[in-house]
């Protein structure tokens, strides 16, 4: 069997060529095609590609060892790339909203010389490309409408999560009493778990011909908590990850975010520590950030995270062990778990 990563990577140039050929066919000027090509390569490539790789991997598991045809492999990987395009659309936008500096070890797209706010429109084009690919390759399939609906609904859910993430963190009105661990859980399910966890598996389920709503529901019931755990790791790495490993410089403290870490700290802090957090969270000066991290250290937030990580591993594996729908397989979820447990980037 060919290497799944190679099979996945081989699909990107096919899609990039299709898009560019289409732009030429409608007489888009060469300089705009060149611009788009640069945006696509900067923003779609260079990530971990976990979401993208999961579609074909899940389809293989759902087909229970039955050999996939070349066409099935190509189409599953194409759907995987559509998630990577969706993610590119989100990340270009998120980095502007979060005032971030770097992503995947490079400057954020809006900070690349000469790009600036054109990045907003570039994000829109990255999103539109998804529907160009779906139409070109799936229009004749019985599940074409399901794919379109799923991408639209997932985008909507993510945007609602992003809205909550942003309005819970107004930069000019710092009020830590607004935060709670329940609010955090709600935000992260919407802003991260649907598109990163439910979407790749649901896409593979559609390709496998699954129709039973109960199967989608069972998958969602485990994938949303898995995605929540993944975003808690992201919050942890924002503060404790090494920029050269995670490829980005954390901004959650400066951005007044309702992060898992600040919720843990507020839960355990003495009145004096709460006061320090109130005076320093959500401010841009390095000294303020240092003061917040100092309280995190006093409280032992890193240790709380390690304990959460262990507890999540046990709890999520127990949830996976309960999956019993005949059209699903526990392996879909254990392989996801293996990939993210104790991740460092
Ligand atoms: C992760 O939040 C969530 C997203 C990237 C979704 C953005 C959604 C939009 C509709 C734009 P994050 O800000 O913690 O991610 P990171 O740490 O990677 O910046
Ligand atoms: Mg964000
Ligand atoms: Mg961000
Ligand atoms: Mg983050």
**pLDDT by residue (tens digit) across 283-301?**
999 999 999 999 999 999 9
Q: Does the C-beta of 94 come closer than 6 Å to ligand 1? A: yes
Q: Does the C-beta of 62 come closer than 6 Å to ligand 1? A: no
pLDDT cut 70: percent of the chain above it: 100
What confidence tens digit (pLDDT) does each residue in 112-169 have? 999 999 999 999 999 999 999 999 999 999 999 999 999 999 999 999 999 999 999 9
What confidence tens digit (pLDDT) does each residue in 15-74 have? 999 999 999 999 999 999 999 999 999 999 999 999 999 999 999 999 987 899 999 999
Residues near ion ligand 3 (CB < 5 Å) are 94, 98
Q: What ipTM does the predicted assembly reach?
A: 0.98
Nearest to 18 by CA among 137, 118, 150, 142: 137
User: Ligand 1 atom closest to Cα of 97?
Assistant: 11
Nearest to 295 by CA among 318, 325, 272: 272
Helix axes 118-138, 144-167, angle to 10 degrees: 160
Ligand closest to 169 (CA) is 2
Query: How many angstroms separate the alpha carbon of residue 94 from the centre of ligand 3?
Result: 5
Give the pLDDT of residue 88. Answer: 98
What confidence tens digit (pLDDT) does each residue in 318-341 have? 999 999 999 999 999 999 999 999
Task: Collapse the DSSP code of 46 into the 3-class scheme (helix H, G, I; strand E, B; otherwise coil) and give the result.
Answer: coil
Mutate to test the pocket of ligand 1, among 96, 168, 191, 228 (most ligand atoms within 8 A of CB): 191
What confidence tens digit (pLDDT) does each residue in 206-222 have? 999 999 999 999 999 99
Nearest to 111 by CA among 99, 123, 127, 128: 99
Nearest to 192 by CA among 219, 167, 222, 229: 229
Element (H, E) at 103: strand 102-103
Q: What angle do CA 319, 324, 326 make, to 5 degrees?
A: 145
Q: Does the C-beta of 115 come closer than 6 Å to ligand 1? A: no
Check if 103 is active-site.
yes
How far, in Å, CA of 267 to CA of 250, rounded? Answer: 22
Q: Does the C-beta of 238 come closer than 6 Å to ligand 1? A: yes
Mutate to test the pocket of ligand 1, among 91, 94, 161, 193 (most ligand atoms within 8 A of CB): 94
How far, in Å, CA of 323 to CA of 218, rounded? Answer: 7
Query: Which band of pLDDT confidence, cut at 50, 70 and 90, is reported for residue 1?
Result: low
Q: Does the C-beta of 57 come closer than 6 Å to ligand 1? A: no
């Amino acid at each position: 069997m060919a290497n799944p990563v190679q099979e996945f990577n081989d699909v990107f140039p096919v899609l990039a060529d299709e898009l560019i050929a289409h732009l030429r066919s409608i007489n888009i000027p060469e300089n705009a095609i060149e611009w788009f090509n640069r945006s696509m390569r900067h923003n779609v490539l260079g990530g971990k590609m976990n979401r993208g790789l999961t579609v074909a991997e899940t389809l293989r598991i759902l087909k229970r060892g039955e050999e996939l045809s070349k066409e099935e492999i190509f189409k599953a990987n194409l759907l995987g790339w559509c998630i990577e395009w969706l993610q590119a659309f989100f990340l270009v936008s998120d980095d502007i909203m979060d005032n971030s500096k770097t992503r995947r070890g490079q400057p954020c797209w809006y900070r690349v010389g000469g790009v600036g706010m054109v990045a907003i429109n570039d994000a829109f084009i990255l999103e539109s490309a998804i529907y160009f690919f779906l139409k070109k390759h799936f229009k004749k399939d019985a599940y074409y409408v399901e794919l379109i609906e799923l991408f639209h609904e997932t985008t909507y859910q993510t945007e609602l999560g992003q809205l909550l993430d942003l309005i819970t963190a107004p930069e000019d009105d710092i009020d830590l009493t607004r935060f709670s661990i329940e609010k955090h859980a709600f935000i992260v399910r919407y802003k991260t778990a649907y598109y990163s966890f439910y979407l790749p598996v649901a896409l593979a389920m559609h390709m496998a011909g699954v129709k039973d709503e109960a199967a989608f529901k069972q998958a969602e019931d485990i994938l949303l908590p898995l995605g929540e755990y993944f975003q808690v790791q992201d919050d942890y790495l924002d503060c404790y990850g090494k920029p050269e490993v995670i490829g980005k410089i954390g901004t959650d403290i400066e951005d007044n975010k309702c992060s898992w870490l600040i919720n843990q700290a507020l839960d355990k802090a003495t009145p004096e520590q709460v006061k320090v957090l109130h005076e320093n969270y959500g401010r841009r000066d390095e000294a303020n950030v240092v003061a917040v991290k100092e309280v995190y250290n006093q409280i032992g937030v890193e240790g709380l995270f390690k304990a959460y990580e262990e507890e999540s591993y046990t709890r999520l594996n127990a949830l996976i062990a309960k999956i019993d729908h005949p059209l699903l397989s526990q392996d879909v979820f254990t392989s996801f778990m293996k990939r993210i447990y104790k991740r460092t980037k």
